[in-house]
Structure formats: C-alpha cells, structure tokens
Amino acid sequence: MAVTVETHGALADAARAMAGGGTYMGGGTVLMRGVNDGSVQGRLLRSTDPALRAIRATGDGFTLGAGVTMADVLASRDLEFLHPVARVIGGPQVRAMATVGGNLFAPHPYGDFATALLALGARVVPAAGGSPRPLDDILRDRARPHLLAAIEVPRPRDARAFGFLKVSRVKPKGVSVLSIAAHLPRDGGRLRNVRVSYGAMGPAPLRAVSVEQVLEGQSLDPATIARAAQVAAEGLDPPTDPISSGWYRREVVGVHLKRLLERMA
Amino acid sequence: MAMKPVTFTLNGLAKAAFTEDGQNLLDFLRRGVGDMAPKYGCGQGGCGACTVLLDGVPHLSCLTLAETVEGRRVDTASGLAGATISPLQEAFMDRFAAQCGYCTPGMLMAATALLAKNPRPNRDEVIEAISGNICRCTGYEPIIAAILDVAEGRVGA
C-alpha cells in the first residue's frame, strides 16, 4: 500500500472526507516520520483552510485555529502567557511547523503544549460542528479519530495564576522528562478552581488530581506546597522510554512541582 | 504511484518538477530537482541537516510534504554563494566551523534565517537559532563564533 495525499481547501470538506477513512496531517512533524519510514500508509488528508491559522480574541480568552503553529503563538503578543510553553517545543524549524492541534495528539513523551492547555481548561471545537468539548475528554480518548477546527483557550486571570515548567536533559532543546502546568486562580488569598497537569507522566497529558485536591481552597504557603509535592506522583504509572525511566519520573516529579509552585507563590 | 506537478522558486529561480504522493521535500529536492545541499540525517526531524527556508523561515525538509511548496519560495545552501562564497560561508571557513561538514548546509540555513530577521543577534539568540541543528564534530563553539563574526561585522564588512 502507498500513501495518497488529498488536500481540501475547506476544513469541512476534509472532515467529510475523513468519514471515509484516512489520517489527517497537520504540521507533519509527527506523521511525516511515519510516512518516511513506511509505517504510515493509505490516505492522508490535509486542509489549507485559512481559518485553521486564525487567532481570535474572545470574551474570556482566545480561539486558536487547530493549525496555528508554535511560531504563530510566539509571534502573538496577546498569547504572551503561552510563550514560555511554545518556546520550549523543538527548535525553530519544529516550531515553524508544529501545530497546536497536532500537539494534542502527539504521542508520549511529546505534548507539552497540550499539557499547558489542559491546565488552562481549554475546550476543543470539532471540525464536524457541534459544541466545544473539554480537552480532558479528547486526551482520554485519543485513539479515536478526531478532527478539530479550533481550540478555545481561557485567559489566565492574571500572569501569576499560570505557570509552566519543562524538564529535559538536553538544553536548550530537548524532549520532556516531564512537564508541569498549573493554573492557580486566587480568591481572597485562597486557591480556587485549581488545575494542575502533567506531560510525559502517562500515555497522554493528564490532570494531577491528588495535587489539585491538596491545593484547592488553600493558600500557596510552604506547608501546602510541601503537601502537594508529597502526593505529586500519587496514582501515576509513568512510562519508561529512552529519555527516562518511569521510576525516575515518579521520583523527581515532586521536586519539580515544588519548584514550580514556589515560583508561583 | 500518483505524480503531482509542483512549481516553486528555488534559490531565486523558477522550477517545475513532479513529486510522488507522500514524497518529502528533502527527497524531492535531491532526487527530483538535483539540489544536493540539504542532507538526509535522521528522517525524523531531530538533526536539522535537511533545513531549508520556506518563504524565509527555516523548515525541516524531511518532514515537509513536497507538494506543499507549490507557489512558495525555497532556499537552500546551494543558493548562498554567488560569484564568491557568502560572508557566512567565509566565516564558517575562517572559524573551522565545519569538520565533517554534514550539518553545515542546515546550520548555514538556520543562521541565514536568523541574520535576515535579526542582523545583530547576541550569543543566546544564536544558540537558540541553531538549537534545532545537531553537530557531532565541532562542539558548536566555532559555529556560534562564525555566526557572531558576521553579526558583529568581522566578516564581509
């Protein structure tokens, strides 16, 4: 079997075509590897719909077309809160190609941008229409084909409310040992509606539920941070890969969570 | 296998060639067009040896579908030299920034994109600009020095 590439001007046409089977190609940074080594075969679908590259401000945040690249994010002053995340994804060449939508489906240990969006409570807009769905749902069910039109990203309440940290062995560009994102809105000094997420700590980016439970309703003081760090790896079974063993990821995640929370305190 | 016509500009010259379905830009440039400057390193987007500029922006040609360059401008290291080598190439020579030379076309294109956008980069900006390119010979320092030589007017002034 060979590869056939179909390019559709409108995303809606690509969505209709996908119903007949095939794989959607965004920036190609993940999928082209498979095309090159022959592991990806069959029908590849693309779309050149300009809406995929659009960044729109909405009432409480931004809507990013699924084809917005990491370089596009870095070029947008409105998206400054996401710059520390986009900046640590690949080198300049990868950032010019890798898309926000593609990052949601990038296999372990990739997906640092998805980790940040998960902490921010992002919602995804299906290309086939219908209501936006929480990103949490998509990340739990990535094996099923999803074609996305856009991602709705709430703006953090203030710059201090959102933090991101990536741990990699190679500087300045390296694959994640792990990444952590935290959205910690404060209400009268207490943390409310806390969301903390991990990248590379499971098969897909996931919420750090035990950490969220420790932080919710508390002030971000040293005692709370210490308790959060203690439960950082609770219930997790991170994968082992050439970057790190699962054991090492479990051992160090608390240390890095503590550093991130101290920075945000 | 279906063939598709692609027309584009390569190093300032209009080109037309056929690409196979699913063919990457690196293979298309080397086998289809005969531009052997971009190198096959990993085929996985990890080494940067295949870096070319698409509309002035560095891209990994091994991860780019050839057909997506239709109507676009592609620049490779083959286009850097005119009657003589470019100041950047001269600086690479002076600083011994190439040993085996395999990464050099990719490094040159990453540096070209940087200097076009930011003619006076500092050392950190140079390091960031070549962070997607791997060199296993030089330890990077001669490459950084060569790019800074051009940025700071020590070459080609």
Give the CATH number, domain containing residue B36: 3.10.20.30
Whether residue B55 lies inside any domain: the answer is yes
Note the Cα A76 to chain centre separation in Å: 18
Please list the alpha-helical segments (H only) found in A131-234.
135-140, 209-215, 222-230
- Please identify every stretch of chain A with a pLDDT value under 70, giving residue numbers as ranges: 1, 172
Co-location of B29 and B61 in the same domain? yes
- SS3 assignment, position A143: coil
Alpha-carbon distance of A217 to A192, in angstroms, equals 6
User: Residue B99: which CATH number?
Assistant: 1.10.150.120
Sign of CA dihedral A204, A11, B55, A80: negative
Structural domain includes residue B134: yes
Kindly state whether residue B116 falls inside one of the protein's structural domains.
yes
* Same domain assignment for residues B8 and B74: yes
Are residues B101 and B64 part of one domain? no
Window 81-140 of A, Cβ < 8 Å to B: 90-94, 96-97
Residue B102 lies in a domain: yes
Q: Is B112 within a domain? A: yes
CA distance A1 to chain B (A): 10
Last residue in a domain, options B79, B109, B141: B79
Domain shared by B73 and B102, yes or no: no
Same domain, B9 and B72: yes
Task: Name every chain B residue with its beta carbon within 8 A of the beta carbon of A72.
Answer: none
The reply to whether B33 and B61 lie within a common domain is yes
Q: Name the residue among A92, B41, B106, B38 with its Cα closest to residue B97.
A: B106
pTM of this structure: 0.95
CA–CA distance, B111 with B81 (Å, rounded to integer)? 14
- Asked if B48 has any chain A CB less than 8 Å from its own CB, the reply is yes
B74 and B9 both lie in a single domain: yes
pLDDT (average), residues B41-45: 93
> How many distinct structural domains can be found in chain B?
2
Residues 17-46 of A with CB under 8 A from B: 25, 28-29, 32-33, 35-37, 44, 46
CA B90/CA A139 separation, integer angstroms: 49
Cis peptide upstream of residue B5 (ω within 30 degrees of 0): no
For the question of an ipTM over 0.90, the answer is: yes
Token pair for residue A189?
């000094």
Select from B48, B54, B64 the Cβ nearest to the Cβ of A28.
Answer: B64
Residue B91 lies in a domain: yes
Across the interface, do A96 and B57 touch by the CB < 8 Å criterion? yes
CA–CA min distance B83, chain A (Å): 29
Which residue shows structure tokens 């203690």? A230
Q: Which residue of A has its CA nearest to B131?
A: A91
Cα gap A191→A198, rounded to integer Å: 19
DSSP A240: P
pLDDT bin (cut points 50, 70, 90) of residue B2 is confident
Q: Determine whether the interchain pair B132/A91 forms a contact, defined as Cβ–Cβ distance below 8 Å.
A: yes
**Which of B40, B59, B79 represents a domain boundary (last residue)?**
B79
Count each helix (H run) and each strand (E run) in chain A, helices first.
Answer: 11, 14
Mutate to test the interface with A, among B60, B128, B135 (most CBs of A within 10 A): B60
CA pair distance A150, A132, nearest whole angstrom: 9
Rg (CA), chain A: 18
Q: What is the pLDDT of residue B31?
A: 96
pLDDT over 70 (residue B37)? yes
CA distance A70 to A98: 6
Same-domain check for residues B54 and B27: yes
Is the residue at B29 inside a domain? yes
The reply to whether B94 and B52 lie within a common domain is no
Nearest CA to CA, how far is A95 from chain B (Å)? 9
Number of C-alpha atoms within 13 angstroms, CB side, residue A197? Answer: 24
Question: d(Cα B112, Cα B42) in Å, to the nearest integer?
Answer: 22
* B157 pLDDT more than 60: no
Contact A4 B22 (CB under 8 A): yes
Same structural domain, B68 and B8:
yes
Q: Do B128 and A35 touch (CB under 8 A)?
A: no
Burial class (CB in 10 A: 0-12, 13-18, 19+), A29: buried
pLDDT at A173: 77
Compute the nearest-CA separation of A98 from chain B (Å): 10
| pLDDT score of A129 | 86
Distance of alpha carbon B94 from the chain centroid = 19
Range of the domain at B61: 3-79
Angle separating helix axes B141-151 and B87-94, nearest 10 degrees: 140
Partners of residue A168 in chain B, C-beta under 8 Å: none
* Sequence-ordered alpha helix ranges (H) in chain A: 11-18, 31-37, 70-75, 83-86, 92-97, 100-103, 112-120, 135-140, 209-215, 222-230, 246-264
Please report which confidence band the pLDDT of residue B156 belongs to, taking 50, 70 and 90 as the band edges. low
| B128 interaction partners in chain A (CB closer than 8 Å) | 92, 172
Q: Is residue B134 less than 8 Å (CB to CB) from chain A? A: no
Q: What is the pLDDT of residues A115-158, one digit of tens each?
A: 999 999 999 999 988 899 999 999 998 888 789 999 999 999 88
* Alpha-carbon distance B135 to nearest alpha carbon in chain A (angstroms): 14
Give strand pairing partners of B13: B10
Query: CB–CB of B21 and A3 under 8 A?
Result: yes
- Provide the mean pLDDT of chain B: 95
| The pLDDT of residue A158 | 87
In a domain, B156, yes or no: no
Q: A251: distance to nearest CA of chain B, Å?
A: 28
User: Does residue B49 share a domain with residue B98?
Assistant: no
Give the residue from B79, B107, B128 where a domain finishes.
Answer: B79
Task: Give the number of other Cβ atoms within 10 Å of residue A41's Cβ.
Answer: 14
- The string of pLDDT tens digits covering residues B76-106 is 999 999 889 999 999 999 999 999 999 999 9
What's the rounded Cα separation, in Å, for the pair B61 and B45? 9
Say whether both B75 and B96 belong to one domain: no
Interchain CB contact of B63 with A (< 8 Å): yes
**Run of H or E including A180:** strand A176-183
Chain B residues 73-102 with a CB less than 8 Å from chain A? none
